Structure 1
Amino acid sequence: MERWDLEFGQVELIQGTIRSLLDCVENDEEILVNQFSPSIYMAPSTLRDLSPSSFNPRVVSIGPLHREDENVQAFERRKASYLINLMQRTNSSQEEILKLCVQKVYASMERIKACYVWTKTYGDAEIADMMIMDACFILEFLFKIWSSGVEIGKEGVLLFQNVLYDLVLLENQIPFFILDELFRCTILKFNPNATLLELIRPVLATVNLFKEDIKIDNISIENAHHILSLLHQCYKPPRNIKKGVFSSRILSVTDLDRAGVNFKPNKDPTWLMGMEVKLYRFPCCFGSWNKPTLRIPTLKIHDSTEFVLRNLIAYEQSGLNHHYVTSYTIAMDMLVDTKEDVVKLVDSIVIVNNFGSNEEATNIINNICKEVIVVDFFYEEQWVKLSNYCDGYWPKNIARMRKNYFSSPWNMIALVVGIILFALTVVQTIFTIKSA
């Protein structure tokens, strides 16, 4: 009786739960049909908590996620002047151009909404205003650089440079298809020779992590989610690059150096983040052995290196299948244990350290990989070659000897003193035997 009363009393609640679940299923099916998935979101909290400042815009807010931040409010009022300047470049009336832009945005409103994981509710009119204002600001800002050849990094353009860095933050983006649509409505109208990718090239070049130049030939605008995803594409490996499960550990730079491994910059690689192991045959007492050189792309470490890496990693960790930037940082973290490892890489021109402090550079490399997951490791083949070499008889024993006897001046002095004492003992023994 008691059980029947409970079931009877819960009938409405059960039916309500069923209706709620059915609504969720129907909504999910609608999302699947539309084939839209969020591409602009807050960085995973596990990564964001490690370095919140790496994900917050310094000067300008793009999109809705940081619109309320206090530090971007001053620049928010300046966006209108960029929009006006862009409109004045066109031959058509400003009203006609703005009307066309508004129509394009409203036609894609549902698709725009699906691109974000929203932290605040906005009406369609607010979203349209936001998209047009931000897109026109970006386009005018980039067009000025492209048309006038402004050099980035000169004295007096700190604000200008900070804006460029803000444009590659994961949480500070607008959908790329909207940027492209409004580019066609504005710049392409008065400059048919311009391309959106060429306009964005200075941003990519400025935030590039490596000494080798960014190549945009293989970038696909159709597959771009936003400007950060374009930068991510610049580091995409060729299809023939082998990847494996992250399994092989490797010695640090110092230990590899003791085993006889050389380090050199990987100049003009097929892949901007590519590492290569070259084996060279050297003679030794009992034949010969293959001495390797590890070629690594030259990493530029400066004020922006950490946040560019963190944003690329957060983008990968938020749902992408290919973790090649994460893979690179894991590889560097394995190679660098102490500042002595950084010193060796700086001496080998594998790292250009503009920080001045090798300890700070070491901390960046060691801390960047915390709380990250590696799905595919793109350096497994190189790591296996190095492991096989280091496990060989001669490299292993040479490394042990150099570590025990040549790792510090005191060890070397102790070794020399030991040899001298041993020699004196031998001489003394010989003379004692002869005089007996």
Structure 2
Amino acid sequence: MKQSHSSSACKHGGRTCPRIAAAAVIAVFGVAGFGVALIVRLDCTGARFHSPLGHLNTAPGILADLPRPDDCVPSDEEQSDSASYIGGEGLPSGVETTGGYIVEMVNFMEDELPRQSKKVLVQEEMIYRVPQITSSLDKDAYAPQFVSFGPYHRGTEALRSADKYKWFFLEQILNMNKDVPLRKYLEEMDGVKQKVKGCYEEDTLIQTNDGSIMLLLDGCCILGFLGILPLPPQEVGAQTQKQDNLVAEASTVRKFISRVKKMLAPHPKQVALAVDAESKRTADSARIPLWHHDSIRHDLLLMENQLPFFVLEKIYGLATAGTPDELKDKVDQTIQKLLASYPLITTDQSFHHLLQCCHLKFRPAKANSSSSNSKPKDELQPWRGATDLYKAGIKFKPKLRNHSESLLDVELVSGRTLMIPTLIIEDSTSSVFRNLIAFEQSSTHENYFAAYAFFMGELMSTPGDVTLLVKEGVVKNYIGADKEVSDFFNNLVKRVVFDVNEEHFLSSTFEELKSSYNSVGNKYIADLKQNYCRSPWLVISVVAGAIVLVCTVVQTVFAVKG
């Protein structure tokens, strides 16, 4: 019976046995799959709480530094949820908030928050990039031509040839004070690295070991190019040679002229710096060709090519045991030479980088003065060109140089003579003016240079205006035709945020000019002088005509009475 029952069951279950077996296999695989998914989920949870923020590692900005396990790749749904979190709408519902990764994020963001938020505020020590919309007007005026300082242009292929000078000057500085080893310089640079990091908008290179190397090499190079270090003579074989300063005097007329004599020729030396090692060139390769001198001055005074001054102070202090005030005085004197073409003042104010020092030396003597009887905007009239002012009786005379007044100190004397410090327009003028204006636009400083640029731009709005000012000795044109000067000033103030009708240091001068221009008496006198007194013969003719007219009137009067 048993056997027949068994046969009957198999026979009856011929169709059901495969179904039962298939169901069992599916169940086994389902349980196994669920177990694997659970293990992976628990593993990801332990690492990053099943993180909806796992893709932050690829996000730009400071969030790019957040760590993320490679084996926990977020799904599309997770990335969608994380977007709402980044946008500030809070964590998505149902997300676990425990785990070590959230703690790492909190600690990281709490450390970064004060530093990054501080960058939004306008600060004097900040070194900004020039906006692309502004730099596109004249790219050569804002970009370094020969050497880069700081992180913004570091690594530019066209500037790499100047790196040998940085190593050369590093060796010279190390030889100045052999009691201070290279390690000490690097420790000082590493100590200020975090402070330097807060001075730039883009600072990713500074926080690495390469950042300390960059600060040291760039700082040594700037001090060397400025020629303010008393570099000692070195012996090469049996001879002793001295190095001349690499930045010599600037031209008072056109060009920045540097005298470079034969450099030292020390034996080649290897200098190992942290993770980077580079063979140094001999001093022969450190000779600077004459065609680079203008480029050096250009690069030292670029807004995007600045290094915080406290870095130079650190290096100078270690090399010479000198004080920051001593270095500041030397830099001030060197800037005076670099910009010898322009009238500058002597200043004792502190500065954060070389371009700010340059800006302070252009500060007008009447910087804090303004018009006491300023009128509302809608009553102000457009400024007049030099030709129109001349026809109205305004004279133009060059102002003699003195150490208490700068290029910007324009003054109207006796209401009829506009005294203007002589403006030399040369190849470097565009770079100097544009970077000074860009510095003003990026900071809380007064727009002295912007006001001056607008003022001179209105005076020289046409080539005829330039011709007149050149004739009067107020302008010296070394860049070409008078139209080029006029075009230069017209382009200089493009995209500059400045309202000429607001209060500024030239407001009172503008008001006086407007009053003189609108004076009817001045116009008649000016017309008489310009049209009838241009030569002695015209003067004699006018006088003779006046005498004849007077005699005729007198004769007529006597004839009537008689």
TM range (shorter): 0.7 to 0.9
Count of equivalent residues: 376
The letter of the residue matching 2:139 is P
Structure 2 residue corresponding to 1:370, chosen from 494, 503, 506: 494
Residue in 2 that maps onto 1:393: 520
d(CA) in 1 for partners of 2:367, 2:134:
31
Relative to structure 1, is the Cα distance of residues 303 and 179 closer, same or farther in structure 2, using a 3 angstrom cutoff?
same
The letter of the residue matching 2:349 is S
Structure 2 residue corresponding to 1:51, chosen from 124, 138, 143: 138
Which string of whole-angstrom CA distances, capped at 9 and with x for unpartnered residues, describes residues 165-197 of structure 1? 2100001111111111111111336x9996343
d(CA) in 1 for partners of 2:181, 2:436:
35
Residue in 1 that maps onto 2:349: 220
d(CA) in 1 for partners of 2:290, 2:145:
14
Residue 258 of structure 1 deviates from its aligned partner by 0.7
Which string of whole-angstrom CA distances, capped at 9 and with x for unpartnered residues, describes residues 311-356 of structure 1? 0001111133311011110110111111111111112221122224
Structure 2 residue corresponding to 1:114, chosen from 198, 201, 226: 198
d(CA) in 2 for partners of 1:154, 1:12:
59
Superposition pairs for residues 34-183 of structure 1, below 5 Å?
Answer: 37=123, 39-92=126-179, 96-118=180-202, 121-143=205-227, 148=244, 150-152=248-250, 153=257, 157-183=290-316
d(CA) in 1 for partners of 2:386, 2:230:
41
SS in 1 for 2:413: strand
d(CA) in 1 for partners of 2:113, 2:258:
50
**Rg (Cα) greater in structure:** 2
Percent identity for Structure 1 against Structure 2: 25
Q: Is the 8 A contact 1:146 1:199 kept in 2?
A: no
Residue 101 of structure 1 deviates from its aligned partner by 1.8
Relative to structure 1, is the Cα distance of residues 349 and 19 closer, same or farther in structure 2, using a 3 angstrom cutoff?
farther
Q: Is the 8 A contact 2:393 2:523 kept in 1?
A: no
Gap runs ≥5 in structure 1: 1-9, 280-290, 407-436
Gap runs ≥5 in structure 2: 1-79, 92-105, 232-243, 251-256, 260-288, 533-562
Residue in 1 that maps onto 2:333: 201
Relative to structure 1, is the Cα distance of residues 157 and 28 closer, same or farther in structure 2, using a 3 angstrom cutoff?
same
Residue in 2 that maps onto 1:271: 405
Relative to structure 1, is the Cα distance of residues 204 and 47 closer, same or farther in structure 2, using a 3 angstrom cutoff?
farther
Residue in 1 that maps onto 2:360: 233
d(CA) in 1 for partners of 2:220, 2:183:
13
Which string of whole-angstrom CA distances, capped at 9 and with x for unpartnered residues, describes residues 88-138 of structure 1? 12242xxx3422222222222221000001175454211111000000111
Moved more, 242-251 or 32-41: 32-41
Residue 45 of structure 1 deviates from its aligned partner by 2.3
Which string of whole-angstrom CA distances, capped at 9 and with x for unpartnered residues, describes residues 63-108 of structure 1? 111112222111123321111122112242xxx3422222222222
Relative to structure 1, is the Cα distance of residues 277 and 28 closer, same or farther in structure 2, using a 3 angstrom cutoff?
farther
Superposition pairs for residues 251-270 of structure 1, below 5 Å?
Answer: 251-268=384-401, 270=404
Residue in 2 that maps onto 1:188: 321
Which string of whole-angstrom CA distances, capped at 9 and with x for unpartnered residues, describes residues 148-178 of structure 1? 4644416863313321221000011111111
Residue 261 of structure 1 deviates from its aligned partner by 0.6
Task: Give the TM-score normalised by structure 1.
Answer: 0.76
d(CA) in 2 for partners of 1:340, 1:87:
57
Residue in 1 that maps onto 2:437: 313
Task: Give the TM-score normalised by structure 2.
Answer: 0.60
Which string of whole-angstrom CA distances, capped at 9 and with x for unpartnered residues, describes residues 228-265 of structure 1? 11001111234663236885532100011111110011
Higher relative contact order (CA closer than 8 Å, sequence separation 6+): 1
